[in-house]
Amino acid sequence: MKSESEQRYSAAIEDYLKVIYAFEEREDGEITTSRLAERMGVSASSVSGMVRKLCELELLEHPKYGNIAFTDTGRGVALGVVRRHRLIELYLVSALGYGWDEVHDEAEVLEHAVSDRMLDRISERLGNPRVDPHGDPIPSKDGRLEPWDAQRLSTVEPGLGGQFVRVDDVDPGMLRHLTSEDISLGERLEVLERAPYGGSFVVRVGIEPHCRTRQLGPELVEAMWVRIDA
């Protein structure tokens, strides 16, 4: 029987699979080598080479001129990396007192080193959580994800609102800005106004009698997800 370390793929392979999963999870449109190169900050030729390798390992499928897609095996590996990353982020916040803006880069390193045994202990200690500090769903040990319904705040029409349940976490400065604006997950957000041509949003945060109004830029509202009121 192979050891755990032998069953793991390299950090580079895991990073590619995680980025491809992020595209699938959050963005519309085809996953192409050019989009991956832009996201990862590497050349298109480097991405093409890695995608070919991942296809040879039967982790991806990439027909000529077609969309990059997971095989069942590749999706399972990607979900495993995502599970490690999100549980580590939550542990850093819950047990070690990190801020939600400090954990992404730490988890990027630790996700390739932590053992499955330690990860199981972390999950048990945290009560087998369903979401990480940014509201991202945590896959179960067997790769299942809880269904969730939310949409980007940027798509919400004035007069509508819902619970702030998730935020993209790639920009720590954005998370610090939300903290400085006293906006946190779980709050109710209502869009009051949308400036035309990609302008700012005026958003009511919270409920009476403790609500407040904030003006948020288009890049920020694009990163925020809400579950619309029933």
DSSP string, the chain: ---HHHHSPPHHHHHHHHHHHHHHHH--S---HHHHHHHHTS-HHHHHHHHHHHHHTTSEE--TTS--EE-HHHHHHHHHHHHHHHHHHHHHHHTT---TTTHHHHHHHHTTT--HHHHHHHHHHTTS-SB-TTSPBPPPTTS-------EEGGGPPTT-EEEEEEE--S-HHHHHHHHHTT--TT-EEEEEEE-TTT--EEEEES-TTS-EEEEE-HHHHHHEEEEE--
Domain 151-228 has CATH 2.30.30.90: yes
Considering only CA atoms, which of 6, 14, 3 is closest in space to residue 112? 14
116-125 and 72-94 helices, crossing angle to 10°: 50
**What φ, ψ does residue 220 adopt, rounded to 5°?**
-70, -45
Q: Please report where in the chains the tokens 């006293």 appear, as a residue.
A: 182
Flag whether pLDDT at 161 surpasses 50. yes
pLDDT above 70 covers a percentage of the chain that reads 97
> CATH fold of 1-144, please?
Arc Repressor Mutant, subunit A (1.10.10)
pLDDT tens by residue, 170-228:
899 999 999 999 999 999 999 999 998 889 999 999 998 889 999 999 999 999 999 99
- For residues 164 and 219, the answer to whether their CB atoms sit within 8 Å is no
Could you tell me the residue ranges of all domains in the chain? 1-144, 151-228
pLDDT tens by residue, 18-29:
999 998 888 777
Structure confidence at residue 222 (pLDDT): 95
Structure confidence at residue 80 (pLDDT): 95
- For residues 74 and 54, the answer to whether their CB atoms sit within 8 Å is yes
Flag whether pLDDT at 108 surpasses 50. yes
What are 203's strand-pairing partners? 191, 214
**214 burial via Cβ count (<10 Å: 0-12, 13-18, 19+):** middle
Q: State the pairing for strand pair 161-167/151-152.
A: unpaired
Q: Please report where in the chains the tokens 């619309």 appear, as a residue.
A: 228
